[in-house]
Structure 1
Amino acid sequence: MTHRVAPLTLAKLRLAAQLILPTSTSPTRGPVDVVRWLTALQSQDLPGALWAIGLRSPGIGRSEVVAAFNSGELVRSCPLRGTLHVTAAEDLGWILSLTAGRMQASQASRHKQLEISAADIDLVRDLTLDLLEQLGGRATREDFFAACEQAGQGTKAQRGYHLLFLLCLEGTLVQGPMNGASTGTTQFYVSSKDWIKAPRILGKEEALGELALRYFRSHGPATIKDFQWWAKLTLKDIKLGLDRAQGSLESYESDGERYWLAPETAELLGGPVSGDRSVLLLPGFDEYVLGYTDRSAALAPDYAPRIVPGNNGMFKATVVAGGRVVGTWRKAQGAAERERQLADVVLPEFFEELSPNQHKALEVSARKYATFLTA
């Protein structure tokens, strides 16, 4: 079908698909349901990732999200784009089966610079599994680095990070339970084999179809270009996945682009899409902003440098009003800033002026965030 879908309507459809705005077809979901729906949720900033899950689970507190990690239902690893993502534990293996080889190949020259060889990986794998056995099945990054240094495997200049990265890509390690001593800002590394009790096993074509279906259902309306950026697979594999998934999706064409989306999201095209009055506090790296190669529907190009200063890859937390990014937010620094915080936790910085009603909606969102942190 052909529709002329305005950018703001596209943005609000994505809010609904991503469970950020409730609709009549999206019942309240728990933390694991949310992550399973999104498939993989970018999470360099762990506290922000917890809120990304919480804002999509109304009434759920931070402690319930943490509990899903501690129980083994949610894990964190690097299944997409070489960056940290949260996934449902059972999904991690089949996603890595599609993406790990390409990520390893893309880092080959860097690993040569760091003098990481296949023999080094074999040695580090063995010492890591021995370390986990000695420490009762869980180790911190500092524990891992100390064991590497003791064995003559240097960890400086990001070498230690890349050793961990490779062990996660091959499925030896995963970040699982929270490290309570760090006030919940880091996780323990655990053995994937021991921690993930019931991994799903999918053949390549089935996995490609599953990934395509779940991306377009949770992120659509989105294009093939969006999906390829998100998954970093070959165009051949992208098209193969979509071929298998498209029978369960809807599509429309707008301005010469083909968009794919869930049938329940497509139903919203028939009338006004809700969300005009919403003012939301999204964490940095949220999938709503980050999950597409073309972000212009929600993020005006003039504002993009203020979300990622210097194009350094670090996405700030955003204020989203009516589907559009209109500012950023953070915690206050110093007494003067604390006096201006909303709900004692949110200091907004606006790109444009909000209306009085939008300010009231923002205060409600700030109170919800404050409640999430303590619940």
Structure 2
Amino acid sequence: MKDHHLASLRIYNQQIHNPQFKTPEDVVKYMVAMQAQDYAGAKWAIGLRMKIANENFIEQAIGDGKILRTHLLRPTWHFVLPQDIRWILNLTAPRIKAANAGMYKKFGVDDAIFNKSNNTLAKALEGDKQLTRPELVDVLQKAGIATDELRFTMLLMQAELDQVICSGKRVGKQFTYALLDDRAPAYSPLKHEEALTKLAAGYFNSRGPATVHDFAAWSGLTVTDATTGLENIKAGLINEVIEGKTYWMPDHEDLIIPKNPKAHLLPMYDEFAIAYKHRDALVKPPYLEQARHVIFEQPIIVDDQVVGTWRRTLKKTTADITLNLFGKLNKTQTKAVETAITRYQKFLF
């Protein structure tokens, strides 16, 4: 299996080629968790994986709580479904808190402050209230809790990791927070190994071919835990060894790789790039140096390979798309990129 074919299988399994999903929540359920650090781009990442997508439709699903946004893996913002948020947090939160320990110490926040902050936030949000960040700053300050510098961000993240708060509906362009109990009622927790197995199944079935180290890097789990999860699902996967690395993937008898050039405008931090420890397979070989920061840029994909970057300029009724191609495209490839641009514009308007 060559690098190009590796990328082709990944883009197929990630539902970017020939997407079949009809609702935003179906996409997130399949992907288990999707990085949502760049909010506008993350909505487009969902839209890419739908048969027909509209930004307002996805925003509505988020506002209605069908999709939640919280610090979930590594730690970074992710979209996740209400029924998945708690078991994933039970699995990942301890490692995130340990990684944040140095920052907590630097800014003088400890368990006593976190407990006071969590209780204050919970009381303020009682009754299915949803408050903006400025409103929550005011709530905490009135309770005598310092929110200067990075403390406010740490207090909110800790409350997310402690399963106190999660995303609410946006007010204009402002994000709000709600009680997790109001948006994702508690249920019987999964045992540690059950959760590892479930996360591994979601990852390898949606992002394969991938290695156990890819899974560990994406999830923030230890390689030991990642290996345990993979071991429990191996029977349902196939694998191939390339240059000493074992790649695991679902066995799709119906796999069809498009014969004609196909192009996509991917958002920043899309799972097609972010979900793997090493990303060279996703980039056309001559462009490896130009695409070295591929996860921090908006890639143009042609024939399953990164061939450039793009940016948008929003207007009242449309979006102008500016391309930065790393090399020349032929007429058929150019037409495919034009089709991708039109698809994105229709998503927005």
Superposition RMSD on alpha carbons, in Å?
2.0
Query: Cα offset for 1:70?
Result: 2.1
- Please state if 1:71 is matched with 2:64: yes
Counterpart in 1 of 2:23? 30
Query: Cα offset for 1:158?
Result: 1.2
Counterpart in 2 of 1:207? 195
**What residue ranges of structure 1 are gaps of 5+ in the alignment?**
309-314
- Please state if 1:245 is matched with 2:220: no
**Could you tell me how far apart the structure 1 residues matched to 2:199 and 2:336 are?**
35
Superposition pairs for residues 1-375 of structure 1, below 5 Å? 5-22=1-18, 27-133=20-126, 137-179=129-171, 181-182=172-173, 186-197=174-185, 201-264=189-252, 268=255, 273-274=257-258, 277-299=261-283, 300-307=287-294, 315-332=296-313, 344-374=319-349
- If the length of structure 2 is used for normalisation, what is the TM-score? 0.93
| Cα gap change, 1:276 to 1:99, in 2 (>3 Å) | farther
Counterpart residue identity of residue 308, structure 2: G
| Cα gap change, 1:276 to 1:223, in 2 (>3 Å) | farther
Question: Which digits, 9 at most, give the CA deviation of each residue in 1:30-70, with x for residues without a partner?
Answer: 21111111111001111111100001102121122112212
- If the length of structure 1 is used for normalisation, what is the TM-score? 0.87
Query: Cα offset for 1:198?
Result: 6.6
- Please, which moves more after superposition, 31-40 or 353-362? 353-362
Confirm or deny: 8 A CA contact 2:126 2:179 kept in the other structure.
no
Counterpart residue identity of residue 373, structure 1: L
In structure 2, the residue corresponding to 1:297 is in which secondary structure?
helix
In structure 2, the residue corresponding to 1:177 is in which secondary structure?
coil
In structure 2, the residue corresponding to 1:285 is in which secondary structure?
coil
**What residue ranges of structure 2 are gaps of 5+ in the alignment?**
none
**Could you tell me how far apart the structure 2 residues matched to 1:276 and 1:198 are?**
48
Query: Cα offset for 1:267?
Result: 5.9
**Could you tell me how far apart the structure 2 residues matched to 1:189 and 1:275 are?**
46
| Cα gap change, 1:123 to 1:64, in 2 (>3 Å) | same
| Cα gap change, 1:194 to 1:169, in 2 (>3 Å) | same
Query: Cα offset for 1:276?
Result: 5.6
Confirm or deny: 8 A CA contact 1:10 1:297 kept in the other structure.
yes
Give aligned-pair identity as a percent.
Answer: 31
